[in-house]
Amino acid sequence: MSATILIVEDDNIFRELLTTILDNAGYTVATACDGGEGLRRIQRERFDLVLCDLKMPIRSGLDLFRATRGEANSPLFIFITAFGRVEEAVAAIKDGAFDFLAKPLKDPQSLLTTVGRALEQVELERMTVSLQETEQAGLPPEELIFAGRAMESVRKLVQDVARTSATVLLHGESGTGKELIARMIHLASPRKNAPFIPLNCAAIPENLLESELFGHERGAFTGAVQSRRGKFELAQGGTIFLDEIGEMPQLLQAKLLRVLQERVFERLGGTLQIKADVRVIAATNRDLAREVAEKRFREDLFYRLNVFPISLPPLRERTDAIPQLVRHFCARFSAAAGARRPTGVTPEAQVILQQHKWPGNVRELQNIIERGVILARGEITPAELPAELLAQLPPAEARVGMLKHQEKEIICKSLQHYRGNRRKTAEALGISLRTLQYRLKELGLLAKEEL
């Protein structure tokens, strides 16, 4: 992951050594020569992690750590200490520091391993906070909704149509996020401060659907003991989202057509015309043109709905989004799983996920990651994936070679996309830089001088 690290160390030679190791690993590094300068930098700048000597002039490392605890988004601390002061470092960990390293360093890898673990925690916490903020608004982050190159054209269409009042028809398989896109259109429109009212046409019994849409008057049918507003009235000034519109009975299709044409309707059992100041967004996983040809859907209604069509690609056509989606779902479900906090999936599991055809699309991936988070004790491995995913693979003796080939292909394509930048490649694949380096070596992708 991309990270900015502050080194606070009064020993010039040791400070330069730490800087060289971390800079070569792809991190952005800043330095301070004592605790006073370190505090000033932390107050002015944003750091993900602080590597700090315990014993320094002007202000000790422990004083610096305690001075930052009350600040919002305070960085994690790793202390560096001589063997004789280990007890102080342990006490600092009890106060909330992440870990400590003994001076002199055992080897560069011990530093990188500890830093990597700390930054994985930073990333998980950051994603969890981002998730909480965006879910309060009712949506995942925008970059997640439109993740993958196949969604770039969808993002453009959403931006173009949102500021209008045009009727939108969303096409896409089940689980591709049609309701999320509908909500995005609503929130980016002039109607964003009015209600967004969803209705799944397939989930309501046919004899109740008209009442759900248009409401009813008292006595309109047995059990109608009082008047009730329907979804169109509840959505006044805003947006109504009609999911699974292809399931709507033909009698109701005619009544919906009238609303779209004349912008008025009556409650069931009523005569008063009610104005429908409502934007309509409909969605279907059916081929409505075929439904029209086979006389199951009204042609005139289809053309009224199909003013601005948007097709959502299935997940199997946007597999480049899977690492980002996996990181998001890991953060989301690990927060609910208490102590179990997987930071991602292993490269082998990633390959399996990117091979799967995803008939249930993003919703299926979400469910699989939720299950994996519950079962895993570290990164999610193939063992935590459902049996049906593994059953699609070749026999065990052929599987290892195939997985290696797929993994190598994915890593090579990612490296090429990021022009050889390993830090960005690791971040895109949802693994640590250290894990990527190990995989490059194991797959024979390192240059001779790097071995």
pLDDT tens, 136-191? 455 788 888 999 999 999 999 999 999 999 999 999 999 999 999 999 999 889 99
What's the confidence (pLDDT) of residue 124? Answer: 67
DSSP symbols for 291-333: HHHTTSS-HHHHHHHTTEEEEPPPGGG-GGGHHHHHHHHHHHH
Give 39-53 pLDDT, tens digit per residue: 888 888 878 899 999
> What DSSP element (H or E) covers 171?
strand 168-171
Q: With contact defined as beta carbons under 8 Å apart, do 404 and 443 qualify?
A: yes
Q: Place 254 in a pLDDT band, splitting at 50, 70 and 90.
A: very high
Class of domain 318-450: mainly alpha
Q: Which is more confident, 239 or 129?
A: 239
Quick one: DSSP state of residue 82? E
Secondary structure (3-state) at 50: strand
Give 114-130 pLDDT, tens digit per residue: 898 888 777 766 655 44
- Amino acid sitting at position 200: N
Query: In the predicted model, is pLDDT for residue 29 greater than 90?
Result: yes
Task: Name the range with the highest mean pLDDT among 5-9, 140-144, 410-414.
Answer: 5-9
Q: With contact defined as beta carbons under 8 Å apart, do 48 and 3 qualify?
A: yes
N-term to C-term CA, the chain: 23
Biggest CA-to-CA distance, the chain: 89
Quick one: DSSP state of residue 298? -
pTM of the model: 0.61
The rounded distance, in Å, linking the Cα atoms of 41 and 355 is 46
Give the CA distances from residue 37 to residues 30, 206, 211, 242, 359, in Å, rounded to whole numbers and listed in that order. Answer: 11, 71, 69, 59, 56
What's the confidence (pLDDT) of residue 260? Answer: 95
Mean pLDDT of 25-34: 90
Q: With contact defined as beta carbons under 8 Å apart, do 131 and 335 qualify?
A: yes
The rounded distance, in Å, linking the Cα atoms of 440 and 387 is 29
Give the CA distances from residue 81 to residues 51, 349, 413, in Å, rounded to whole numbers and listed in that order. Answer: 11, 39, 42
Query: In the predicted model, is pLDDT for residue 55 greater than 70?
Result: yes
CB neighbours of residue 422 within 10 Å: 17
Q: Place 198 in a pLDDT band, splitting at 50, 70 and 90.
A: very high
The rounded distance, in Å, linking the Cα atoms of 92 and 379 is 28
- Amino acid sitting at position 372: G
CB neighbours of residue 143 within 10 Å: 10
What's the confidence (pLDDT) of residue 72? Answer: 47
Q: Which is more confident, 434 or 287?
A: 287
Q: Is 93 buried (19+), middle (13-18) or exposed (0-12) by CB count in 10 A?
A: middle
The rounded distance, in Å, linking the Cα atoms of 247 and 206 is 10
Q: Which two tokens stand for residue 217?
A: 């008057």
Quick one: DSSP state of residue 339? T
Give the range among 174-188, 212-226, 302-316, 431-445 with minimum mean pLDDT: 431-445
Total residues belonging to the chain: 451
Q: Place 399 in a pLDDT band, splitting at 50, 70 and 90.
A: very low
Tell which residue, 407, 417, 364, 426, has the closest CA to residue 389: 364
Q: With contact defined as beta carbons under 8 Å apart, do 167 and 307 qualify?
A: yes
Q: With contact defined as beta carbons under 8 Å apart, do 98 and 78 qualify?
A: yes
Q: With contact defined as beta carbons under 8 Å apart, do 428 and 414 qualify?
A: yes
What's the confidence (pLDDT) of residue 153? Answer: 94
What's the confidence (pLDDT) of residue 337? Answer: 67
Question: Where does residue 156 fall: left (phi above 0), alpha (psi -120 to 50 degrees), or beta otherwise?
Answer: alpha
What's the confidence (pLDDT) of residue 296? Answer: 92
Residues 6+ apart with CB under 8 A from 376: 340, 342, 384
Give the CA distances from residue 122 to residues 37, 83, 116, 213, 319, in Å, rounded to whole numbers and listed in that order. Answer: 23, 27, 10, 47, 26
Query: In the predicted model, is pLDDT for residue 84 greater than 70?
Result: no
Q: Place 416 in a pLDDT band, splitting at 50, 70 and 90.
A: confident
**Which residue in this structure is represented by tokens 């700048």?**
45
- Amino acid sitting at position 220: A
Give 307-361 pLDDT, tens digit per residue: 999 999 999 999 999 988 998 888 888 877 665 555 678 877 888 898 889 999 9
Tell which residue, 180, 62, 181, 109, has the closest CA to residue 433: 109
Superfamily of domain 4-136: Response regulator (3.40.50.2300)
Tell me where in the chain the CATH 3.40.50.300 domain(s) lie: 149-315
Distance of CA 269 to the CA centre of its chain: 46
Mean pLDDT, the chain, integer: 84
Secondary structure (3-state) at 431: coil
> What DSSP element (H or E) covers 223?
none
CATH topology of domain 149-315: Rossmann fold (3.40.50)
Tell me where in the chain the CATH 1.10.8.60 domain(s) lie: 318-450
What's the confidence (pLDDT) of residue 252? Answer: 94
Q: With contact defined as beta carbons under 8 Å apart, do 273 and 266 qualify?
A: yes
